[in-house]
Each structure stands twice: as C-alpha cells, then as structure tokens.
Amino acid sequence: NAGVTQTPKFRILKIGQSMTLQCAQDMNHNYMYWYRQDPGMGLKLIYYSVGAGITDKGEVPNGYNVSRSTTEDFPLRLELAAPSQTSVYFCASSYSGATEAFFGQGTRLTVV
C-alpha cells in the first residue's frame, strides 16, 4: 500500500519558471490537501479538495493553482516561481474531513 506519493522529492527552479508538484493517493480518500512548511515554522494549508472537481483555498493560496480531475490525483501548479515559494511541500489525504490525514514524504523546492 503506497499511501500518499509525491513527486519529485527535490527540485530547483529558476525565478519565473513553472512546475507542477504531483500528488497521488491509493486509499480512495475523498479529501486531499497541500501544505507548505517553511524553516522553523509549522505547516500552512495552501489548497484542499473534498472530492473530484471541488477545490478550495487554504491559508496561503497566492501563487498556486490546483485541480482535482480524479479522486487519486491532486497536482499543485506554480506558474511563476518566486524565491518566497522556496519551501517543503506536503500533500495529505483523508477519507473524510473528520478522519486522520495521511501525509506524503514531501517535495523540497528551491527557487533561485
């Protein structure tokens, strides 16, 4: 059982480049989340989804976009990378809003 899989694990981007962070879960979870973790800080919610075709903003959505075309996948898109987006990004999923969230291993992104 793979759980929550994030790719890539590491990436270096130049300012202004774009990229998509991939997240897939094989637990048939309805809810999926994207968080970012800055050094010395707790995780902050970027976007979340309660099911295919439904997404909503979290605490820090600016500079990001998401889509949820299938139950399994929840990609996070950075259109114009900025140094402020240097962070570790975690994807998570849960069966419902009231159940435990399972986290992926994270993607470490550096924007230079």
Partner 1 sequence: AQSVTQPDIHITVSEGASLELRCNYSYGATPYLFWYVQSPGQGLQLLLKYFSGDTLVQGIKGFEAEFKRSQSSFNLRKPSVHWSDAAEYFCALDITGTASKLTFGTGTRLQVTL
Interacting residues toward partner 1 by CB under 8 A: 4, 31, 33, 40-45, 48, 50, 58-59, 90, 92, 94, 96-106
- In the complex with partner 1, the residue whose CB is nearer, 84 or 96, is 96
Residue 76 Cβ, how far from partner 1 at the closest point, in Å? 15
Residue 55 Cβ, how far from partner 1 at the closest point, in Å? 12
- In the complex with partner 1, the residue whose CB is nearer, 48 or 81, is 48
- In the complex with partner 1, the residue whose CB is nearer, 65 or 102, is 102
Residue 88 CB coordination number (10 Å):
16
CA distances from 71 to 49, 60, 108 (A): 10, 23, 24
The distance between the two most distant Cα atoms of the chain, rounded to a whole number of Å, is: 39
Residue 45 Cβ, how far from partner 1 at the closest point, in Å? 6
Residue 27 Cβ, how far from partner 1 at the closest point, in Å? 14
Reference 71, options 33, 25, 103; nearest CA is 25
CA distances from 84 to 7, 87, 109 (A): 20, 8, 11
